[in-house]
Amino acid sequence: MGTARPPIDPSASTSGSSTRSRRILLSRTWTRRQVIGAGAFGAAAAAGGSWLAASAPEQPRRARTPVALTASPLSAGFAAGSAILYMSTADRRQTLDLVTATGIGWIRFDVPWNFVSPQAGSYQWTFVDNVVNDCRARGLTILLSVVNSPSWAAAVPGNPQSRPASATTYANFCGKVATRYRDSVSAMEIWNEPNGRMFFAPDPDPAFYTQMVRAAYPVIKAKAPAMTVIAGALGAVDTADGLVHAVDFLRAAYQNGLAGRSDAISFHPYDYSNPLATGALYDNAPMRNMIDMYRSMSSNGDGGKKIWITEYGAPTTGSISQTDQAELISNSIGQWREVSYAGPFMIHTIRDAATGSTDPEDNFGVATTAFVPKQSMVAVTALSQAGFPLRPEYQLLQVNPDPTLGQPVSPVYPLQRGFGYEFTEGARYATNNGFFSSPTEVATIARRFRVVPLGTFAYDRQDFDVDGGFRVFSRPDTTGTHAVYGAILAAWSPAIGFPTGTLTSTNGVTTQQFENGAITWSALGGTHVDYS
């Protein structure tokens, strides 16, 4: 029956949980999402108990086609917003000189429809022309974000942050932009963060946003066939009043006909606590949002397209130091290229609006208001000059691949006693005992528990490197995918069958159901096997 010891449990201690704050829709509002902390598993292993979140979602297995593992080429840039449009000529040019000093080649800035065309039929292009010309003089590649409704074309007249009243009217303006800048601009983004009321008043509306994209795409392509058209520009938010989760928004957009009507999808994965690879451990982190977004893209025939990160950064205010900002940005840039669908990566932003202000929005720059480089600018410049080198943990898995797993969908992330790397058809692990692969359903549990395999997946089960024993049983179409560990695993035998649910705990008694019965454990009574 094994030694009477409690099963390990990542939920027994909530003290390991962490919270993440991030910039939400360019506002001064912050959100916090509860996640399971990276250290929770180790603490809970000693505490014992149960974890109801251990089951992976049941997913069908798909046919596997061998794919070679190659890192994505990386294009990086800066998101300048609207601020660059209204600087003095000297400040604008000095700001752009900061960009060229880093060796990074892309820049993103707004085309505010409300200022270019304050009255129907009239256009004032000079202030946009000035920025375009200065960028081209420095050899920068330009992405324009077409935003802000003029009052005459707004769904909420007088509110420039309103969505357009007519998708066709917006598309016609995009056509004007494409015509004017087709020889100088490489990409155009349809709006900014439409999944929030702040930029899409009166409320986020994926169906109407899809109408905008469907109307604008053919118009832009007719005027500038080589211009990349990007949909999305979604913010990393939870669904709440005036907000729609990016994954839900994108799914709804596809349900309303988005497929085939853009060249890429963009996202703003702000996360001030973790770079992308570490964030991939958490179920609702922005990196996992992108994995889910890519799955939606793939299931709708857009799997060959990229996700562009058109804003990413952190403000050097409060608890976030210059060192923190530098580490978040430089680590995430290097990790992003490990993802197969990685498009360009834009850092928000170039220069602080007001260094030293208590408003986080004023302090996102990689340089101060006085043009003094912060640590992040120094770090990004060094990475750029080095050609954005591959990380050692990625290289380790790159030379020990499993081509049947498909394309990588996450960066390589740290686990206890090794590293994990997720693909379209499963996950690959570098461990102290060798290199192993797991199906997607099993890999989900491994990620949540932060564990690596001890051996191969065979006979619908796989053992993991955990003191006291840890095994994942996986028959997604029948019994599901569940972890069994500790004293309950020690008492298990084939006669009781596969687990059919996760652990439950009532009045100090932990129970796990199986096909042919149940196994219980308690501190006083030890382990008991009950065949039904």
pLDDT for 15-33, tens place per residue? 233 333 334 433 322 222 2
Q: What DSSP element (H or E) covers 513?
A: strand 509-514
Query: Given the structure tokens 């085939």, which residue do they identify?
Result: 260
**C-alpha–C-alpha distance, residues 111 and 159, integer Å:** 16
**C-alpha–C-alpha distance, residues 268 and 22, integer Å:** 10
For the chain, what is the mean pLDDT? 90
| Residue 91 DSSP label | H
User: Counting every residue, how long is the chain?
Assistant: 532
Cis geometry, peptide bond prior to residue 349 (ω within 30 degrees of 0): yes
| 356 vs 52, more confident | 356
Q: If you write DSSP's letter for every residue of 145-193 in order, what string do you get?
A: EEE---GGGBSSTT-TTBPBS-HHHHHHHHHHHHHHHTTT--EEEE-S-
pLDDT reported for residue 502: 87
Mean pLDDT, residues 283-308 taken together: 99
| Residue 8 DSSP label | P
Mean pLDDT, residues 53-59 taken together: 36
Closest CA to 82 of 116, 56, 57: 116
Q: At the topology level of CATH, where does 76-389 sit?
A: TIM Barrel (3.20.20)
pLDDT reported for residue 65: 53
Q: What sign results for the dihedral spanned by CA atoms 391, 392, 394, 398? A: positive
- pLDDT confidence band for 71 (50 / 70 / 90): confident
pLDDT reported for residue 7: 38
- pLDDT confidence band for 13 (50 / 70 / 90): very low
- pLDDT confidence band for 67 (50 / 70 / 90): low
Mean pLDDT, residues 426-441 taken together: 98
Mean pLDDT, residues 162-170 taken together: 99
| 446 vs 28, more confident | 446
Q: Where are the domains of the chain?
A: 14-67+394-531, 76-389
Cα of 354 vs its chain's centroid, Å: 29
| 321 vs 38, more confident | 321
- pLDDT confidence band for 68 (50 / 70 / 90): low
- pLDDT confidence band for 367 (50 / 70 / 90): very high
pLDDT reported for residue 4: 32
**Could you report the per-residue pLDDT of 94-111, keeping only the tens digit for each?**
999 999 999 999 999 999
According to DSSP, the β-strands at 480-485 and 426-431 are unpaired
**C-alpha–C-alpha distance, residues 206 and 255, integer Å:** 9
310 within 8 A of 146, measured Cβ to Cβ:
no
302 within 8 A of 259, measured Cβ to Cβ:
yes
Mean pLDDT, residues 326-348 taken together: 98
Residues 6+ apart with CB under 8 A from 128: 85, 111, 116
Mean pLDDT, residues 473-488 taken together: 98
- pLDDT confidence band for 343 (50 / 70 / 90): very high
Q: Per-residue pLDDT for 57 more than 70?
A: no
| 42 vs 379, more confident | 379
Q: Per-residue pLDDT for 61 more than 60?
A: no
Q: What DSSP element (H or E) covers 307?
A: strand 306-309
37 within 8 A of 66, measured Cβ to Cβ:
no
Residue 425, Cβ density class (10 Å: 0-12 exposed, 13-18 middle, ≥19 buried): buried
pLDDT reported for residue 473: 99
Q: What percent of the chain has pLDDT over 70?
A: 87
- Region for residue 161 given its phi and psi (left: phi exceeds 0; alpha: psi -120 to 50; beta: otherwise): alpha
Q: Per-residue pLDDT for 244 more than 60?
A: yes
**C-alpha–C-alpha distance, residues 235 and 286, integer Å:** 9
